[in-house]
Chains A and B, each alone.
Chain A
Amino acid sequence: AQSVTQLGSHVSVSEGALVLLRCNYSSSVPPYLFWYVQYPNQGLQLLLKYTSAATLVKGINGFEAEFKKSETSFHLTKPSAHMSDAAEYFCAVSSYTGGGNKLTFGTGTQLKVEL
């Protein structure tokens, strides 16, 4: 079974500081990985996804993530945090089961941005 683990349920950074949200995966097949963001009382929005085309993936709002097979990681980064980045972030892995595709999510990381 494929899974992802997000280290740190809460991360706090200062505005302008580097954002680093950690995600490690477990998969018996080449993984396809996603980062989604959830703003308060809203649905999930795709930030970026890894589909094996390139190990460094750039997403929306200045976020990027690097796929590292040797470390089984797909950490999300942003060079300079903005107040508007405060949200819940979810890492997910895609798997094919019973004729269909599903996302298996990590437990989420709440990002707080302080002045």
Chain B
Amino acid sequence: DTAVSQTPKYLVTQMGNDKSIKCEQNLGHDTMYWYKQDSKKFLKIMFSYNNKELIINETVPNRFSPKSPDKAHLNLHINSLELGDSAVYFCASSQDGAGRTDTQYFGPGTRLTVL
């Protein structure tokens, strides 16, 4: 009964390929997020969706395209992968994306390695 799950856990691919990471939450939350953690463990938000609608896009290259088929799912598709995309990608969810005190619940992460 994992609250926020991501697949796959590990992803190794070649430069130029296209790949997707899937995220699902069973908490009934309205808002979902994607964060990127680089090799120095610095975490930065990429996107957030509220009820399937994009509300935050933090100047991420348009090779990254999030898709939310319903409010329990937020997938991340990456086109033309580059070496610099290698990182750990975390999905998170919160009850209400407008509440600054809301707790964000994180998934286990997907480690992407681009060769």
Q: Which residues does A use to contact B, with CB under 8 Å?
A: 32, 34, 36, 38, 41-46, 49, 51, 88, 90, 94-105, 107-108
Contacts and interface: CB of A to CB of B under 8 A. Distances in A.
Contacts of B25: none
B101 A51 contact: yes
B42 A49 contact: no
Across the A-B interface, the 7 shortest Cβ-Cβ residue pairs: A100-B55, A43-B106, A51-B101, A44-B106, A105-B43, A94-B100, A100-B56
A97 B56 contact: yes
Contacts of B103: 34, 46, 49
Contacts, number: 73
5 contacts: A96-B100, A99-B55, A99-B98, A101-B31, A105-B42
Interface in B83-108: 90, 92, 94, 97-108
A90 B43 CA distance: 9
Contact of A42 (B41, B55, B94, B109): B109
A102 B101 contact: no
- Majority-rule SS of A interface residues: strand
B41 A107 contact: yes
B72 interface: no
Contacts of B43: 44, 90, 103, 105, 108
Contact of A100 (B44, B97, B107): B97
B75 interface: no
B40 A107 contact: yes
Contacts of B40: 107
Report the interface size class on chain B: 20 to 34
A98 B107 CA distance: 24
A42 B33 CA distance: 17
A100 B31 contact: yes
Which of A44, A94, A101, A108 has most B Cβ within 10 Å?
Answer: A101
B50 interface: yes
Contacts of A104: 45
Contacts of A90: 43
B101 A107 contact: no
A24 B48 CA distance: 26
B108 A102 contact: no
